Amino acid sequence: MDKRTAVVTGGIGGLGTAICIALARAGRRVVAADLGGHPERVARFQAEVDGLDVRFAPLDVSDFDACGEFVRGIETAGQGPDILVNAAGITRDTTLRKMDRGQWESVLSVNLDSVFNLCRHAIDGMTGRGFGRIVNISSVNGQTGQFGQTNYSAAKAGMHGFTMALAREVARKGVTVNSVSPGYCETALVAAIPDEIRQGIVDKVPVGRLGHPDEIARTVAFLSDDEAGYITGANIPVNGGLYMAF
């Protein structure tokens, strides 16, 4: 069987980098799609993935047409994509009473519209080839809501609805669609939370610490395996016990 190709959006971010590394180590050809405007970030990423089958591709995931062109480029090279991990995400935290339209729209467009943009362009190829693994990186805050995150919580909760609906549409075609809901992990997003608030959150985590990006990446590698074909429409929480539900 040919090597499978995995696209990871937000691929050079905190969770994205760990996901790229885990998928490459699992034998995938990985394309890390992310904004190209910060050469020093890209260089740091390239150093981290040195020696692995991972390449960086500049992409604005909120641009529907650019996502189409990007997916067609991979298809034309005969490289799938077979696995799509939607990990691009931003925060613009503030209470609703202070939130402006730009803070709402940017979070919804990067976190949720991007999932539509990539899936819409990739889905026909996946169903046509009879294989696909889509993993949407949501958040515990999409399950519980978080103070100061009406925009982010709405986007992340929306990903769950999207995941379940698309899972039903493509289940007979060899394509699975799942979401992973990380808790608070050691990433720049979490580092940006004021120290006192972050400590208050960690104090509530039963495991007693922030998550490691590798712990999220391991779950993504599991769900995107060929052998994971009977798991679809699921949400896998990886949150140290911060939110437990059945």
Binding site for ligand CAA (CB under 6 A): 91, 93-95, 98, 139-141, 146-149, 152, 182, 184, 189-190, 193-194, 197
Residue nearest to ligand CAA (CB): 148
Spatial distance between the Cα atoms of 60 and 86, rounded to a whole number of angstroms: 13
CA dihedral for 18, 31, 42, 101, sign (positive or negative)? negative
Token readout for 16 is 């994205």
- Give least dist CB 185 to ligand CAA, A: 7
Spatial strand order in the sheet of 5-9 = 54-58, 29-34, 5-9, 83-86, 132-137, 175-182, 235-238
Of 161 and 229, nearer to ligand CAA (C-beta) is: 161
Of 55 and 92, nearer to ligand CAA (C-beta) is: 92
Q: Catalytic: 243?
A: no
DSSP 168-224: HHHGGGTEEEEEEEE-SBSSHHHHTS-HHHHHHHHHT-TT-SPBPHHHHHHHHHHHT
Of 11 and 182, nearer to ligand CAA (C-beta) is: 182
- Give least dist CB 28 to ligand CAA, A: 24
- Among 152, 184, 230, 243, the active-site one is 152
Of the candidates 90, 128, 93, the one whose C-alpha atom is nearest the C-alpha of residue 106 is 90
Of 22 and 140, nearer to ligand CAA (C-beta) is: 140
Cβ-contact 7, 81 below 8 angstroms: yes
- Give least dist CB 132 to ligand CAA, A: 25
- Give least dist CB 123 to ligand CAA, A: 25
Catalytically annotated residues: 152
